[in-house]
Chains A and B, each alone.
Chain A
Amino acid sequence: MSFARLKLLGVGTGIVFLVTLVFLQTGPINTKRHNAVMDELRRLKQLDAIFNQELLQLRFGLVSSYDAAGQTLHALKAAHQQLSHGPAAISQQGHAEMDRRLEAFREALEAKAASFEQFAAENATLNNSIRFFPLATTRLLADVEGEAALSLQVNQLLRDVLMYNLTASQELKPEIRDRLEELRQGSASAPPEVQRQLHTVLTHARVILEQKETVDGFVRELMAMPTADAIEGLYESYLRFYAQALRRSSLYRNTLYAVCLLLIGVIMAIMAQLSRNVRLLELEIQERKHAEANLRETQAQLVQSEKLAAIGHVASGIAHEVKNPLAILSQGLEYFRKNLDLTQASTAEALTLMEEAVKRANMIVREVLTFARPAQVSLSPAPLNPLLERAVVLVEKQLGVTAIVITKELAKELPLVSMDQNQMQQVFINLLTNAAQAMSNRGRLTLRTSTAVVAAGEAGVGHRATDPFKPEQPVVVCEIADTGCGIPKDKLNKIFEPFFTTKPLGEGTGLGLAIVRSIIQAHRGVITVESQEGQGTTFQITLPALVMTSPL
């Protein structure tokens, strides 16, 4: 396994570990449990308040059953136990504090329960006397019906004691105590039955007098018990630690989000990189195939041009050799024309034929030499349109009056083209002559010039050394279209080859279009041909335009 692969494995493991860790940290927040804890805390508060209410109800005799208060205490203990199971997702520190507060609450609750136990016993004793006291006085009063003074005193005592029970103050206490003492002393002479009844009344009055204070003391003590504070503390602590846990969790969650997004981003970047590489690779393969094809083509061209050069070389050698004998022949013919008797028709005719043959042989020799050794091009910026028009005039003269309609669609303000005017003229004359011959001197000849911008994919456009044009390069286009016989498809790609001709034997040299092409190539231009048999042929010449044109 390579080092890079090991590194990748390490980084991958690290990321997985990190994500897992962060993921686990976001886990502990359990809303269900949190809600349960909140419910339990609220319930605790509510139960404590209910218990205090029940306590007061018991004290003032609004409720006489202790069942409800006992059950509330049970419920408080149960709620505490429920909370002790450990509240939700708070921190270790939070748990410790909660435990401490729960313990404080438990102690307060136990103290309250114990105090309530005492209260219940004392309150029952007090209520027992309060219940029985009116009955006892009624019974006594029935026994002492005759004695108005005693009756009055007992009635006053009944009133005072009941009043005392209802009021919060201790004001009446000394007064009642005095009255009790008075009654006790006053009863010394009463009959034993009355004394016994009075004793009961006095006993219960004393119980109420003392017991009320005791019971109220317990009520005060119970109401002041810190259970409510303990619950409030629990509530506050829990909320604080829960908020802390929440913050912590959301921090981890956000981190997880960020890490995941980052991870996805990285993966997407890698994939984008990969697909880009794939595309580049495909392009490269295509390019290579293209280059290979080009190479083959170039090689073929090279072979062809070598062949052509060889032919040219041989031909020019022959032409040189033929040139001198032709000169001698020409001079000989001149001599004959001067010195021979030309009255005899046959002699003159033979001389004329010989002179024409020599002229033609000279022309062939000249063309072979031109093709084999093209004259050095001397380029200079020049307008194309006038050159074309001049060529038309020359051809018209050469061909005489014919039935050819010439249409000119020449662009105005055509950019200048860097060219050798003589050679370019030769190109036009050549093409125009061909066109005229193809139409048998009857038809329509269209000349068109225009500017254009070449696009990638068109002929001769590309980045290779053999491509004359770069994409987006401005060019001048010249079209020469005839309505002649056209060129068969199978011959179309051969017409630019030297010594290829469609003309009858002896009429053309087969070098015209080959020379045209070599001139256009020397101008870094392109010539293409389109033809429909029986419809016509269009030649299109594309030449690089000089962009810095007419400084008008």
Chain B
Amino acid sequence: MTRSRVALIWAGCVCLVGGVLWRLFPVPSTPQQVTAQTPQWAPEQAVITEPIQPIPVRVTLDQRKVALGQRLFHDPQLSHDNTLACASCHDLRKGGTDRRARSIGINGALGEVNAPTVYNAAFNFKQFWDGRAETLEEQAAGPLHNPKEMGASWPEVIAKLTQDPGYVQTFKKLYPDGISAASIADAIAAFERSLITPNARFDRFLRGDQEALTAEEREGYRLFKDLGCVVCHQGVNIGGNMFQTMGKMADYFANRGNIATADFGRYNVTGDERDRYKFKVPTLRNIALTAPYFHDATAQTLEEAIQTMAKYQLGVSLTAREVELLVAYLNTLTGEYEGKPLEAP
């Protein structure tokens, strides 16, 4: 037995023992940073006593994904015949809507319901009038596949986008699997989360600036609360966080007539009889810019909409003065996008 062989055996023993000890007492590694899927916003403490909270002035987002989403949002390649983009029906210059009763899809097809605004959609608890999408990511696939809207499909859109080296490169940088249904939806959703309109005059009022509203508008807000409007239209988005039956205090659809499947609302999703005629309470943010109103676009003006709501939802008859005050209040809900007030029609 040579000396070097003994040393080798000892070294082996030491390694073995060392390895065992190392395994028994592992070094704690640093925890990985995990980012939440859906960004949460905390209500501002100062105004939590009010049923409505102001829109946060800033949200943290991956700006590269937002930029990519913005390009996709405006890209007609997402429709079957390359004529329509998301922005066609959710025009950021028209309060995030197309200001039509029903949107026009590819080949002139008419949509089933009025297009809701894309602004502040991130604050809605679910997407679509009937809430069939839980998230913005899920929502993106809806209009894309709807034959009366963009009439496309994921494989088709992915094939088109893959032709564009710019897209390929950007996607590769941001997503490990490159261009895919999930990554396209994620980018669009990221952009939509940036579409928020803070600093409405009413938000400034909520944050303590009494002078942001006129006496008349403040009276309108008091009335909005007293009449019970605020029971459904509350939270950050002044709506968008519950379903409510259209025609709670009187039969809206019987009076309107001509009932279509789309009028069944939430029932189309759940099949629950209690959900017939239930719709997501829409946001009242920027409401002055998004006429016509309701899922069936039956109200052309705010006055009309208020009267309908008072009759069918509140069981109240309003005086002309009350309507005037409420309209004055609703006009204070128009916010700013990218630091500029949204344009009035």
Contact = CB atoms under 8 A, between A and B. Distances in A.
Contacts of B232: 124, 128
A274 B5 CA distance: 12
B228 A131 contact: yes
Contacts of A125: 231, 244-245, 248
Contacts of B43: 65, 67-68
A412 interface: no
Interface stretch (A200-208, A455-463, A464-472): A200-208
Contacts of A200: 315-317
Contact of A65 (B13, B234, B244, B314): B234
Contact of B37 (A65, A78, A124, A260): A78
B38 interface: yes
A388 B9 CA distance: 66
A128 B227 CA distance: 7
B235 A121 contact: no
Contacts of A75: 40
Contact of B226 (A124, A132, A264, A271): A132
Interface string B1-41: 10000100100110011001001100011010000111010
Contacts of A74: 38, 40, 125
A66 B16 contact: no
Which bracket fits the contact residues of B?
A: 35 or more
Nearest to B37: A78
B49 to A, nearest CB: 9
Given A32-B28, A65-B52, A260-B20, A132 B13 contact: no
Nearest to A128: B228
A344 B242 CA distance: 175
Given A65-B234, A67-B43, A131 B227 contact: yes
Contacts of A131: 225-228, 230-231
A445 B235 CA distance: 129
A441 interface: no
A127 B231 contact: yes
B13 A203 contact: no
B26 to A, nearest CB: 8
Interface stretch (A112-120, A517-525, A528-536): A112-120
A121 B1 contact: no
A46 interface: no
A118 B270 CA distance: 12
Contacts of A65: 43, 51-53, 234-236, 241
Contact of B17 (A67, A128, A129, A260): A260
Interface string A19-30: 000010010000
A135 B13 contact: no
B221 interface: no
Contacts of A198: none
Interface in A319-338: none
Interface in A5-31: 23, 26, 31
B202 interface: no
Most buried by A among B24, B31, B37, B242: B242
Contact of A271 (B6, B29, B230, B248): B6
A504 B149 CA distance: 147
Contact of A66 (B1, B241, B274, B278): B241
Contacts of B28: 31-32
Contacts of B272: 114
Contact of B243 (A71, A121, A196, A275): A121
Interface in A63-103: 64-68, 70-71, 74-75, 78
Given A124-B232, A131-B226, A135-B227, A64 B316 contact: no
Interface residues of A, number: 45
B61 interface: no
A62 to B, nearest CB: 10
Contacts of B125: 66-67, 70, 74
Contact of A129 (B9, B12, B24, B228): B228
Contacts of A263: 16
Contacts of A128: 228, 231-232, 313-314
A256 interface: yes
A496 to B, nearest CB: 48
Interface in B299-338: 313-317
B226 A67 contact: no
A136 B226 CA distance: 10
B241 A67 contact: yes
A253 interface: yes
Contacts of A314: none
A257 interface: yes
Given A121-B242, A135-B227, A253 B235 contact: no
B235 A67 contact: yes
Contacts of A203: 249, 315
A278 interface: yes
Given A200-B315, A204-B315, A207-B315, A64 B231 contact: yes
B31 A32 contact: yes
Contacts of B31: 32
B227 A132 contact: yes
A260 B51 CA distance: 68
A267 interface: yes
Contacts of B241: 65-67, 70, 120
A66 B235 contact: yes
Given A114-B270, A196-B317, A256 B20 contact: yes
A70 B37 CA distance: 15
29 contacts: A23-B23, A32-B29, A32-B31, A64-B234, A65-B53, A65-B236, A66-B234, A66-B235, A66-B242, A67-B53, A67-B241, A74-B125, A75-B40, A118-B274, A120-B242, A121-B245, A121-B278, A124-B232, A127-B228, A128-B228, A128-B232, A129-B315, A132-B227, A200-B315, A256-B20, A264-B16, A264-B17, A268-B13, A274-B6
Give the 10 A-B residue pairs with the shortest CB-CB distance, closest first. Answer: A128-B228, A64-B51, A67-B235, A120-B242, A70-B125, A65-B235, A66-B241, A131-B228, A128-B231, A127-B231
Given A120-B243, A253-B24, 7 more contacts: A67-B237, A74-B38, A75-B40, A125-B248, A131-B225, A135-B226, A278-B1
Interface of B: 1, 6, 9, 12-13, 16-17, 20, 23-24, 28-29, 31, 36-38, 40, 43, 51-53, 123, 125, 225-228, 230-232, 234-237, 241-245, 248-249, 270, 272, 274, 278, 313-317
